[in-house]
Amino acid sequence: MNIIFVGAPGAGKGTHAKKLSEMLNIPHISTGDIFRDNISQQTELGIVADKYISKGMLVPDEITMSIVKDRLSKEDCDDGFILDGFPRTLVQAEELDKFLEGKNRKVDYVVNILVEEDVLIQRLLSRRVCSQCKSTFSLSQTCVKNDTCPKCGGKLVKRDDDKIEIIKERFISYHNQTEPLLNYYAARKILRNAKGMESYEQTLKNILEAIDITK
Protein backbone atom coordinates (compact mmCIF):
# COMPACT_ATOMS: atom_id res chain seq x y z
CA MET A 1 0.00 0.00 0.00
CA ASN A 2 1.18 3.51 -0.83
CA ILE A 3 0.00 5.92 1.84
CA ILE A 4 0.46 9.63 2.47
CA PHE A 5 0.00 11.32 5.85
CA VAL A 6 -1.07 14.95 5.75
CA GLY A 7 -2.29 17.20 8.54
CA ALA A 8 -1.16 20.38 10.27
CA PRO A 9 2.06 20.57 12.29
CA GLY A 10 1.63 18.59 15.51
CA ALA A 11 -1.35 16.56 14.30
CA GLY A 12 0.45 13.29 15.01
CA LYS A 13 1.57 12.38 11.49
CA GLY A 14 4.99 11.16 12.55
CA THR A 15 3.82 9.10 15.52
CA HIS A 16 1.08 7.30 13.62
CA ALA A 17 2.95 6.97 10.34
CA LYS A 18 5.76 5.25 12.22
CA LYS A 19 3.37 2.87 13.96
CA LEU A 20 1.55 2.02 10.72
CA SER A 21 4.84 1.40 8.94
CA GLU A 22 5.72 -1.20 11.59
CA MET A 23 2.30 -2.79 11.33
CA LEU A 24 2.36 -3.00 7.52
CA ASN A 25 6.09 -3.62 7.27
CA ILE A 26 6.68 -0.86 4.75
CA PRO A 27 9.13 2.05 5.11
CA HIS A 28 8.20 5.28 6.87
CA ILE A 29 9.59 8.24 4.96
CA SER A 30 9.50 11.60 6.75
CA THR A 31 10.91 14.52 4.80
CA GLY A 32 11.16 16.45 8.08
CA ASP A 33 13.33 13.67 9.58
CA ILE A 34 15.51 13.52 6.45
CA PHE A 35 16.08 17.28 6.61
CA ARG A 36 16.79 17.20 10.37
CA ASP A 37 19.32 14.36 9.95
CA ASN A 38 21.06 16.37 7.26
CA ILE A 39 21.03 19.49 9.42
CA SER A 40 22.58 17.67 12.37
CA GLN A 41 25.29 16.27 10.10
CA GLN A 42 25.74 19.67 8.43
CA THR A 43 25.56 18.22 4.92
CA GLU A 44 25.16 20.52 1.92
CA LEU A 45 21.45 19.68 1.82
CA GLY A 46 21.14 20.29 5.56
CA ILE A 47 22.76 23.70 5.39
CA VAL A 48 20.36 24.83 2.65
CA ALA A 49 17.26 23.23 4.23
CA ASP A 50 17.99 24.81 7.62
CA LYS A 51 17.70 28.30 6.12
CA TYR A 52 14.03 27.62 5.41
CA ILE A 53 13.10 25.30 8.28
CA SER A 54 14.45 27.64 10.94
CA LYS A 55 12.07 30.33 9.63
CA GLY A 56 9.04 28.02 9.46
CA MET A 57 9.11 28.12 5.65
CA LEU A 58 8.86 25.14 3.32
CA VAL A 59 12.04 23.87 1.70
CA PRO A 60 11.87 24.63 -2.08
CA ASP A 61 10.05 22.01 -4.16
CA GLU A 62 13.03 21.21 -6.36
CA ILE A 63 15.20 20.19 -3.42
CA THR A 64 12.41 18.28 -1.69
CA MET A 65 11.39 16.44 -4.88
CA SER A 66 14.86 15.19 -5.57
CA ILE A 67 15.35 13.67 -2.12
CA VAL A 68 11.93 12.01 -2.20
CA LYS A 69 12.45 10.56 -5.70
CA ASP A 70 15.80 9.14 -4.60
CA ARG A 71 14.27 7.60 -1.52
CA LEU A 72 11.26 6.12 -3.34
CA SER A 73 13.59 4.56 -5.90
CA LYS A 74 15.12 2.30 -3.25
CA GLU A 75 14.10 -1.32 -3.32
CA ASP A 76 12.46 -1.33 0.10
CA CYS A 77 9.69 0.87 -1.31
CA ASP A 78 8.67 -1.72 -3.91
CA ASP A 79 5.93 -3.20 -1.70
CA GLY A 80 4.64 0.14 -0.50
CA PHE A 81 5.60 3.17 1.58
CA ILE A 82 4.25 5.73 3.99
CA LEU A 83 5.12 9.32 3.22
CA ASP A 84 4.93 11.61 6.25
CA GLY A 85 4.96 15.36 5.65
CA PHE A 86 5.23 15.00 1.89
CA PRO A 87 3.75 16.28 -0.38
CA ARG A 88 3.21 19.70 1.13
CA THR A 89 2.56 21.71 -2.05
CA LEU A 90 0.46 21.13 -5.17
CA VAL A 91 3.62 21.04 -7.27
CA GLN A 92 5.02 18.25 -5.08
CA ALA A 93 1.73 16.32 -5.32
CA GLU A 94 1.62 16.59 -9.10
CA GLU A 95 5.24 15.61 -9.48
CA LEU A 96 4.76 12.66 -7.15
CA ASP A 97 1.83 11.47 -9.28
CA LYS A 98 3.91 11.72 -12.45
CA PHE A 99 6.81 9.90 -10.82
CA LEU A 100 4.61 7.05 -9.59
CA GLU A 101 2.76 6.82 -12.90
CA GLY A 102 6.10 6.24 -14.59
CA LYS A 103 6.46 3.16 -12.39
CA ASN A 104 2.85 2.04 -12.90
CA ARG A 105 2.03 2.87 -9.33
CA LYS A 106 -0.26 5.30 -7.55
CA VAL A 107 -1.14 6.74 -4.16
CA ASP A 108 -3.76 4.53 -2.49
CA TYR A 109 -4.74 6.62 0.54
CA VAL A 110 -4.15 10.10 1.87
CA VAL A 111 -4.73 10.20 5.62
CA ASN A 112 -5.60 13.61 7.04
CA ILE A 113 -5.39 13.71 10.83
CA LEU A 114 -7.82 16.31 12.17
CA VAL A 115 -6.92 18.30 15.28
CA GLU A 116 -8.06 21.78 16.34
CA GLU A 117 -5.47 24.52 15.98
CA ASP A 118 -5.28 25.64 19.64
CA VAL A 119 -4.62 22.02 20.67
CA LEU A 120 -1.92 21.73 17.99
CA ILE A 121 -0.10 24.79 19.29
CA GLN A 122 -0.15 23.47 22.87
CA ARG A 123 1.13 20.11 21.65
CA LEU A 124 4.01 21.65 19.71
CA LEU A 125 5.02 23.82 22.67
CA SER A 126 5.18 20.82 25.00
CA ARG A 127 6.77 18.44 22.48
CA ARG A 128 10.19 16.98 23.23
CA VAL A 129 12.24 14.74 20.96
CA CYS A 130 14.80 12.14 21.99
CA SER A 131 18.21 13.18 20.65
CA GLN A 132 19.14 9.49 20.38
CA CYS A 133 16.16 7.40 19.16
CA LYS A 134 14.11 10.37 17.78
CA SER A 135 10.92 9.30 19.54
CA THR A 136 8.63 12.19 20.42
CA PHE A 137 6.95 12.81 23.76
CA SER A 138 4.86 15.43 25.44
CA LEU A 139 5.86 17.02 28.73
CA SER A 140 2.35 16.10 29.90
CA GLN A 141 3.14 12.38 29.71
CA THR A 142 3.80 10.91 33.15
CA CYS A 143 6.62 8.71 31.81
CA VAL A 144 8.63 11.81 30.88
CA LYS A 145 10.92 12.69 33.79
CA ASN A 146 14.07 14.83 33.97
CA ASP A 147 14.27 15.30 30.19
CA THR A 148 15.20 11.62 29.83
CA CYS A 149 13.79 9.39 27.09
CA PRO A 150 11.55 6.69 28.61
CA LYS A 151 12.47 4.36 25.73
CA CYS A 152 16.26 4.58 25.52
CA GLY A 153 17.45 6.93 28.24
CA GLY A 154 18.64 9.52 25.69
CA LYS A 155 18.36 13.25 26.33
CA LEU A 156 15.03 14.85 25.39
CA VAL A 157 15.32 18.17 23.58
CA LYS A 158 12.97 20.77 22.13
CA ARG A 159 12.90 20.96 18.32
CA ASP A 160 14.38 24.27 17.14
CA ASP A 161 11.22 25.08 15.18
CA ASP A 162 8.87 24.37 18.11
CA LYS A 163 9.05 27.99 19.29
CA ILE A 164 5.91 30.09 19.19
CA GLU A 165 7.12 32.57 16.51
CA ILE A 166 8.21 29.73 14.20
CA ILE A 167 5.10 27.67 14.96
CA LYS A 168 2.97 30.60 13.71
CA GLU A 169 4.95 30.74 10.48
CA ARG A 170 4.55 26.97 10.01
CA PHE A 171 0.78 27.33 10.30
CA ILE A 172 0.80 30.10 7.69
CA SER A 173 2.80 27.83 5.33
CA TYR A 174 0.37 25.01 6.09
CA HIS A 175 -2.76 27.03 5.37
CA ASN A 176 -1.42 28.66 2.22
CA GLN A 177 0.55 25.86 0.63
CA THR A 178 -0.53 22.51 2.06
CA GLU A 179 -4.26 22.78 2.74
CA PRO A 180 -5.11 23.06 -0.99
CA LEU A 181 -3.87 19.47 -1.31
CA LEU A 182 -6.91 18.26 0.58
CA ASN A 183 -9.19 19.23 -2.31
CA TYR A 184 -6.76 17.76 -4.81
CA TYR A 185 -6.94 14.35 -3.15
CA ALA A 186 -10.63 14.59 -2.20
CA ALA A 187 -11.44 15.03 -5.90
CA ARG A 188 -9.64 11.75 -6.55
CA LYS A 189 -11.60 10.09 -3.75
CA ILE A 190 -8.52 8.92 -1.89
CA LEU A 191 -8.65 11.43 0.97
CA ARG A 192 -9.50 9.85 4.34
CA ASN A 193 -10.12 12.03 7.39
CA ALA A 194 -9.26 10.63 10.80
CA LYS A 195 -10.12 12.39 14.06
CA GLY A 196 -6.94 12.98 16.04
CA MET A 197 -8.05 14.80 19.19
CA GLU A 198 -8.55 11.81 21.47
CA SER A 199 -6.01 9.33 22.84
CA TYR A 200 -3.16 7.82 20.85
CA GLU A 201 -4.97 4.45 20.72
CA GLN A 202 -8.25 5.97 19.58
CA THR A 203 -6.50 8.01 16.87
CA LEU A 204 -4.71 4.91 15.61
CA LYS A 205 -8.05 3.10 15.50
CA ASN A 206 -9.60 6.01 13.56
CA ILE A 207 -6.73 5.88 11.06
CA LEU A 208 -6.96 2.12 10.56
CA GLU A 209 -10.70 2.38 9.97
CA ALA A 210 -10.19 5.24 7.56
CA ILE A 211 -7.94 3.10 5.38
CA ASP A 212 -10.16 0.04 5.70
CA ILE A 213 -7.82 -2.00 7.87
CA THR A 214 -9.75 -3.92 10.50
CA LYS A 215 -7.78 -5.38 13.35
Q: Which residues are catalytic?
A: 13, 88, 127, 159, 170
Tell me the one-letter amino acid at 85: G
State how far the Cα of 215 lies from the Cα of 201, in Å rounded to an integer.
Answer: 13
State how far the Cα of 29 lies from the Cα of 17, in Å rounded to an integer.
Answer: 9
In terms of CB distance, is 13 or 128 closer to ligand ADP?
A: 13
Does 9 interact with ligand ADP (rule: CB under 6 A)? yes
Does 52 interact with ligand ADP (rule: CB under 6 A)? yes
Does 31 interact with ligand ADP (rule: CB under 6 A)? yes
In terms of CB distance, is 58 or 208 closer to ligand ADP?
A: 58
Rama region for 212: left / alpha / beta (φ>0; ψ in -120 to 50; rest): left
Residue closest to 173 by CA, chosen among 57, 72, 43, 53: 57
Region 87-126 residues binding Zn ion, contact defined as CB under 5 A: none
Greatest Cα pair distance in the chain: 50
Region 98-137 residues binding ligand ADP, contact defined as CB under 6 A: none
State how far the Cα of 22 lies from the Cα of 4, in Å rounded to an integer.
Answer: 15
In terms of CB distance, is 62 or 212 closer to ligand ADP?
A: 62
Does 170 interact with ligand ADP (rule: CB under 6 A)? yes
Gyration radius of the chain's alpha carbons? 17
Q: Which positions touch Zn ion (CB under 5 A)? A: 130, 132-133, 149, 151-152, 154
Q: Which positions touch ligand ADP (CB under 6 A)? A: 9-10, 13, 31-32, 35, 52-53, 57-59, 64, 85-88, 92, 161, 170
